[in-house]
Amino acid sequence: MIPSDSQQRMPVLFIGHGNPMNAIEQNVFHHTWKKIADQLPKPKAILCISAHWETHGIYITATEKPETIHDFYGFPKALFEAQYPALGDPDLATHVVEMLSMVGVQPDTRRGLDHGAWSILMAMYPEANIPVVQLSLDTNQPSPFHYHLAKKLLPLRKENVLIIGSGNIVHNLRMFSFYDQTPFDWALQWDEEIKQRLLAGEHESLIAYEGLGSHSKLAVPTPEHYLPLLYSIALQEEGEALSFFNNAVLSSISMTSVMIGRVL
């Protein structure tokens, strides 16, 4: 049963962001991100948990005008020229610090937005007219820590804040091929395994993903791209709908994305 006040909650997203070029290429992923944003209520602000901000301890962006961080190399000049001039939200940052006071989140008044955030938001909200805040990943912490920490953010859904986890369910750059993006069998199998467990609401097994079989070390050789998924599913309340978009595996990277709180 869907909770009676479900319409009062902002949906939650996990987005497989993949190649940074998706920010500026008019491809299926870019267009779908835009389509998803068009279907959502307009958020007051966005809180993004990106694979590309790993820290010792936990930090949150607290600048009024975050810069666009080009945290990659080897891409065309046009991507390095891309800018996403969304404002920050120091008040939201302070609010999150208070909500997560048990772990001592530190405000960062210098850091901008990495491509895990702006590459998807450039497609979703091209006018950059919604404030954006990023929460870092302390990858020294185990998976249950991230899941249970994320649950403390649940009230933000009723405050019209869109929470986005940005990573990839399968992310093995060492095995990725730009020239032949035929998906590896193990990548397809892992992507499907995770999707079935998401549909079944098997959060405990998703938290303990290392025990899900022999493909886990290939699909998740390092945790940073998987952990944002845990932040998103931690915010799923009992009975809430879950659906997928951008269902695709390219070589050794999954673009599979998740919406919680609304059926696509």
pLDDT band at 6 (very low <50, low <70, confident <90, very high): very low
Q: How far apart are CA 191 and CA 212, in angstroms?
A: 12
Range name among 2-16, 128-142, 165-179, 244-258 with the lowest pLDDT average: 2-16
Q: Give pLDDT, residue 63.
A: 97
pLDDT band at 78 (very low <50, low <70, confident <90, very high): very high
Q: How far apart are CA 192 and CA 186, in angstroms?
A: 10
Q: How far apart are CA 220 and CA 222, in angstroms?
A: 5
Q: How far apart are CA 132 and CA 61, in angstroms?
A: 9
Instruction: Tell me how many domains the chain contains.
Output: 1
Residue identified by tokens 């805040």 is 133
Share the mean pLDDT of the chain. 95
Q: Give pLDDT, residue 262.
A: 80
Average pLDDT for 130-157: 98
Widest pairwise Cα distance in the chain: 50
Q: Does a structural domain hold residue 1? A: no
Tens of pLDDT, residues 102-140: 999 999 999 999 999 999 999 999 999 999 999 999 999
Number of C-alpha atoms within 13 angstroms, CB side, residue 94? 5
Q: CATH code at 195? A: 3.40.830.10
pLDDT band at 4 (very low <50, low <70, confident <90, very high): very low
Distance (Å) of CA 220 to CA 128, 182, 191, 209, 216: 32, 19, 11, 9, 6
Assess whether pLDDT exceeds 60 at residue 19. Answer: yes
Using an 8 Å Cβ cutoff, are 99 and 155 in contact?
yes
Assess whether pLDDT exceeds 50 at residue 162. Answer: yes
Assess whether pLDDT exceeds 70 at residue 3. Answer: no
pLDDT band at 7 (very low <50, low <70, confident <90, very high): low
Tell me the whole-structure pTM to 2 decimals: 0.95
Q: Does a structural domain hold residue 163? A: yes
- Of residues 5 and 119, more confidence is placed in 119
Domain that holds residue 146: 6-260
Tens of pLDDT, residues 196-248: 999 999 999 999 999 998 899 999 999 999 999 999 999 999 999 999 999 99
Assess whether pLDDT exceeds 70 at residue 192. Answer: yes
Q: Does a structural domain hold residue 242? A: yes
Written as six digits, the tokens of 250 are 């390219």
Using an 8 Å Cβ cutoff, are 221 and 215 in contact?
no
Residue identified by tokens 């009062």 is 8
Average pLDDT for 183-194: 97
